[in-house]
Amino acid sequence: MNSIVVKNLTKKFGDFTAVNNISFEVKKGEVFGFLGANGAGKTTAMKILCGLLKPTFGEAYIAGYNAFTEGKKIRENIGYMSQRFSLYEDMKVWENIELFGTIYKVKKSILKERIKRVIQRLNMQSYADELVGSLPLGQKQKLAFATALIHEPKIVFLDEPTSGVDPIVRREFWELIYETAAKDVTVFTTTHYMDEAEYCNRICIMAEGSVQLIGNPEELKRRMRVNNMDELFCKFVKR
Amino acid sequence: MKGFRAILIKEFQHIFRDRKTLAMVFVIPVVMIILFGYAISNEIKNTKIAILNHAHDPLSYTLIEKVTSTNYFQNIKFLHGNHEIEEIFREGKVRLVLVIPDRFEQSFYKEKNATVQLVADASDLNNTVTLVNYMQTIVSDFQAEQNVLLPNMQPFQINVKMEYNPEMKSVYMFVPGNIAMVMVIVTALMASITLSREKESGSMRMLTITPIRPIFVILGKILPYMIISFFSAIVILLMAVFIFQMPINGGIALLLLICLIFMLTAASFGILVSTFAPSQQVAMIATMMGLFMPTMLLSGFIFPIENMPWILRVFSNIVPSTWFIIAIKDVMIKGAGFVGILKPFLILILLNIVLITITLQRISKK
């Protein structure tokens, strides 16, 4: 079953084509890496998939909902986390989770249970009453990820989730991602770290608004006869 | 609605956890009214005047009695010759001398062209003008009474009564302006800052991806400031009544309604600024320049609009605070009803509609 289906999707801003006729599918429970240099159209594509932007033409179904007409439905069924902003710094750990839980209409009794579970899973029992601003960056990012999942979405979008965190936390973060995917939640992530791209089940490389390459990282490396992801990436982005 | 409430609660948490915000929101209104109320009204109140009576006839004493019977001038000094005027000014204790000329009664009744002279120390023009205005009112009031009483020649009562702000208390003038300033600071400024903060930190993006509609995100964020500024307006009114003995002659409901409308204007302005401003600093400066300064300088709050050059008068007409202050003054001091303030009220509503329309357009574009 596919949780994201994109066919000939195009987005134009006036004369400028930000996303040019892209097509791909993402399976349920898959970890899908979305790569590309800055300005490749990644952000615009991601906005469309999150139900924030209407495409100019083409088709896009996210969790079964049409990106043209069912933006709100899409937003109810996805989670989103970005590196740029994770959580409110002047609110406590549990308050942050509660805020987003409430915004996503999780029932109070269920939410209470989930907050407890999240804090336990992240070993943050001693931090629960602390302000988020006082946490180390890595902890914040993990907490933000857990918060993005508080309403048990079908798909979670991660926008450069691990920028600026140390390798150990990144590893822990990817453990969380796999754990999530194992529960049949689709993980759609962008990243600038090529080693991270290798952790994905499949990747998609974008350049100049178009999809250049899609497939399993190992397979792609073999097919393109390159030694590592860096080479692969540069080959397509620097044309 | 649940999400809206969650954002509302979150915003209150931000306010109460951030000392700077807390100070801005709660301390400023109180400090402002005390400052404007006491500092300015006291200075005028403590100014002494002097009287130089050349006439020494009954009518001149009647006039003096009228002047001294007001509570406004205390410690009136009596002079005995023209040379004393300059002396007393040089001492700096007296700013105004009322000079009653020789044969005052005679020229009043017979020649019908009595004059009194007001000699004023103009070095502190603002205060002196206030003094002169007041003295002029007393004298012309006195004259009017004499004219009425002339046919019967009855002894008259001394009854000083000036319509609207009889004591020229400056606090009366400052209360409406103060409310406007507080609304601008707490609603417009804080709204623009809090919204652009979310934009700056990227949390606005996060919130727009959630299923709540953007308009509810904005309202949820703004409402706490509106509640607080409304509360502040009430505190200022209470202080005006109980500390500065200012009357509220008109309806309180009408007064609060005007406050509510102006609050919408301020909130809408704040939101509009935040849709343009890329950062908190820009939002702050834009609100300061766009609404705070005009409220202070162009609304008639501190400087009278009549004295402005025509180009500034035109500007002052599109500053919502101008109409807000007029409406509040009329209701509080003149006791105007809804019909009495129809013009400023409608203009305020019109400015509101224009502002809100532009704001909504900007939001839906985002």
Contact call for B14 and A78, based on CB within 8 A = no
User: Helices B190-201 and B252-276 sit at what angle, rounded to 10 degrees?
Assistant: 30
pLDDT of res. A183: 94
> Smallest Cα–Cα separation from B138: which of B66, B189, B195, B191?
B66
Residues B196 and B130 in one domain: no
Please check whether residues B107 and B179 belong to one and the same domain. no
Q: What DSSP letter does each residue of A65-119 carry, written as one string?
A: EETTT-HHHHHHHEEEEESS--S-TTSBHHHHHHHHHHHTT--HHHHHHHHHHHH
pLDDT score, position B170: 56
Question: Residues B226, B341: one domain?
Answer: yes
SS3 at position A182: helix
What's CA B264's distance to the chain center, in Å? 20
Same domain, B8 and B89: no
Cβ-defined contact of B201 to A85 (cutoff 8 Å): yes
User: Per the CB < 8 Å rule, is B209 touching A84?
Assistant: no
pLDDT value, residue B47: 65
Core vs surface per residue B112-151: b (16+ CB within 10 A) or e: eebebeebbbeebeebbebbbebbeebbeebeebbeeeee
**B350: pLDDT strictly greater than 80:** yes
Instruction: Assess whether B88 and B222 both reside in one domain.
Output: no
> Do B209 and A52 lie within an 8 Å CB cutoff?
yes
Number of H helices, E strands in chain A: 9, 10
Q: What's chain B's average pLDDT?
A: 81
Chain B: closest CA distance from residue A37 (Å):
21
For residue B112, what pLDDT is reported?
66
What is the rounded distance in angstroms from the CA atom of residue B184 to the CA atom of residue B182? 5
Q: Where are the domains of chain A?
A: 2-237
**How many Å separate Cα A54 from the centre of its chain?**
19
> Residue B281: what pLDDT?
93
pLDDT at B136: 77
Contact A72 B3 (CB under 8 A): no
More confident residue, B88 or B261: B261
Residue ranges of chain A whose pLDDT lies below 50: none
For residue B113, pLDDT over 70 is answered with no
Among A88, A83, A96, A52, which residue's Cα sits nearest to residue A70? Answer: A52
Note the ipTM here. 0.78
Mean pLDDT, residues B1-25: 85
The pLDDT of residue B21: 81
Shared domain for B17 and B59, answered yes or no, is no
Q: Determine, yes or no, domain membership for B162.
A: no
What pLDDT, on the 0 to 100 scale, is given for residue B255? 93
**pLDDT tens digit string along B262-320?**
999 999 999 999 999 989 999 999 999 999 999 988 988 877 777 788 899 899 999 99
Q: What mean pLDDT is predicted for residues B110-125? A: 71
Are the C-beta atoms of A41 and A87 separated by less than 8 Å? Answer: no
Residue pair B14/B41 in contact (Cβ under 8 Å)? The answer is no
Domain that holds residue B21: 2-40+169-365
Per residue in A6-45, pLDDT tens? 999 999 998 999 999 999 999 999 999 999 888 888 889 9
pLDDT tops 70 at residue B123? no
Asked if A91 has any chain B CB less than 8 Å from its own CB, the reply is yes
Residues B121 and B141 in one domain: yes
Query: What percentage of chain B carries pLDDT values higher than 70?
Result: 86
CA geometry: angle at B174 spanning B241 and B310, to 5°? 150
pLDDT band at B46, cuts 50/70/90? Answer: low
- In terms of domains, do B217 and B319 share one? yes
pLDDT at B7 over 70: yes
Q: How confident is the model at residue B101 (pLDDT cuts 50, 70, 90)?
A: confident
Q: Are residues B277 and B328 in the same domain?
A: yes
Average pLDDT over residues B91-105: 81
- List CB contacts (< 8 A) between B5 and chain A: 102
Residue B322 reports pLDDT greater than 50: yes
- Rounded to whole angstroms, the Cα distance separating B39 from B33 reads 10
Contact B212 A103 (CB under 8 A): yes
From A211's Cα to the closest Cα of chain B, the distance in A is 24
Class of domain A2-237: alpha beta
Q: For the segment B143-178, what is each residue's pLDDT rounded down to a tens digit?
A: 777 776 655 443 333 333 333 444 445 556 678 888
Contact B185, A69 (CB under 8 A): no
- Measured between beta carbons, the chain A residues lying within 8 angstroms of B6 are 98-99, 102-103
Q: Read off the DSSP letter of residue A183.
A: T
Contact at CB, A72 and B211, closer than 8 angstroms: yes
**3-state helix vs strand vs coil in chain A, percent to 5:** 40, 30, 30
If asked whether residues B102 and B174 sit together in one domain, one would say: no
Question: How many domains does one find in chain B?
Answer: 2
Q: Give the mutation candidate from B205, B213, B216 for the A interface (greatest A CB count, under 10 A).
A: B205
The residue of chain A nearest to residue B8, with distances taken between CA atoms, is A99
